[in-house]
Amino acid sequence: MKKILPVIISILFLITNQLHVNAQSEALPLKSEGAALLDSDTGAVLYVKNPNEKMYPASITKIATAIYAIEKGNLNSMVTVSGNAVRQDGTRVYLNEGEKMPLIQLIQGMLINSGNDAAVAIAEYTDGSVQKFAENLNIYLRTKVGVTHTHFTNPNGLFDPNHYTTAMDMALITNYAIKNPIFAKIFGTKVLPWKGQAWQTNLVTHHKMLKGEIPYPGITGGKTGYTSETKQTLSTTADNGKIRLTAVVLKSNLQIDKYNDTAQLFNYGFKNFQHVTIKQGEIFKTAHKEFYPEKDTLITERNDGCIKNVASNGLLSVQDNKGQLVQTVQLKYKEPPKTKVKSVKITKKDNPQQLVFQINIVLGLLVILIGATIAVRKKRSREY
């Protein structure tokens, strides 16, 4: 155990640094107080600003609610809307108490139109109450997504001093959620026909980059957030055909600032980074040990090159040319070839026990011969 503990600590140290180290070689003039830019495919951390500072997410909380409900619930189940859900403040999809609606439609109404009433209906369906939902959601986010600085008290992001997250955690949550095709489709929906008991309309995304009101090429999904206490928040994904990015900004004073900051993050990521594949079986050496990836592994590196270092535990760190960590990849240890020992067949003739027996016989005969010789000499000396 004493030998294993340093290895575990080393791995945790490197992984923690991947999440905390700024991969930028330049400072962007962001107005948002918190920001994180990730490679959507590799999880590489490309840019951060105050990544682990506690902030409030507002309605981008609904990203976590949606992926949790998609993974846990039956999307075709009919959910009965409670009075508690109907009485929610803020943006709604105008549900009626007692109205029955499929879970999938509630998730659509929550993500596209930011319905706070739909969010509570989803929470009560999945876990019976908002309080129990929050408890289970926090466990889910820690164990499934791997966040460490997030605590949610409700499903919709209405302000609560104990409802908080960080830019890095929200980027991780978004990055995890978009791996699910159902979530990704809803997250990228611009317009959706809506039919409820009290409201029939076309839901239009509130995300101005996604719907094209603030043009930016390659936007694939997004969710907005705002409360007076929280300020402006935004989570967005984009794809330029070569690399996919996830950007989160928190605590912007003006709505336009969060969009400008998001555009700056995407410009930086698309301009400076590319994908490279480490081939299966490629050897990385350190301290007389060899490591290799078990399969072709996609990594993110700067266009102007990178530095690859492998630790004695096989953790490969991908750094930029200034030594700043971008990504880590766990490699497999290559066992050294075993030395083949030529087997020697022992015949009956070469049996060691038989050889010892034969030697003992010879020695015994030699002793008898010497003794006889001595006796003969003594007898002759007496005759003379």
Edge-to-edge, what's the strand order for the sheet holding 289-292? 284-286, 289-292, 332-333
The DSSP result for 169-182, as a single string, is: HHHHHHHHHTTSHH
For residues 267 and 321, give the distance between their C-alpha atoms in angstroms, rounded to a whole number: 20
Residue type, 366: L
The DSSP result for 240-284, as a single string, is: -SS-EEEEEEEEESSHHHHHHHHHHHHHHHHHHEEEEEEPTT--E
59, 82, 235, 317: the active-site residue: 59
CA-nearest of 126, 317, 98, 55 to 110 is 126
Whether 378 is catalytic: no
H runs (alpha helix) in the chain: 4-20, 61-72, 83-86, 103-112, 116-127, 130-140, 167-177, 181-187, 255-272, 352-383
- 3-class secondary-structure state, position 341: coil
Whether 59 is catalytic: yes
Residue 219: phi, psi to the nearest 5? -70, 130
Q: How many CB atoms lie within 10 A of CB 209?
A: 22
Whether 235 is catalytic: no
Distant-in-sequence, close-in-space partners of 320: CB < 8 Å, separation ≥ 6 = 23, 25, 301, 302, 304, 306, 307, 326
49, 62, 231, 258: the active-site residue: 62
- 3-class secondary-structure state, position 314: coil
Distant-in-sequence, close-in-space partners of 382: CB < 8 Å, separation ≥ 6 = none
40, 114, 252, 317: the active-site residue: 114
CB 286 within 8 A of CB 311: yes
Place of tokens 């499934």: 144
Q: For 58, what's the count of Cα atoms within 13 Å in the CB-facing half-sphere?
A: 21
> Which residues carry out catalysis?
59, 62, 114
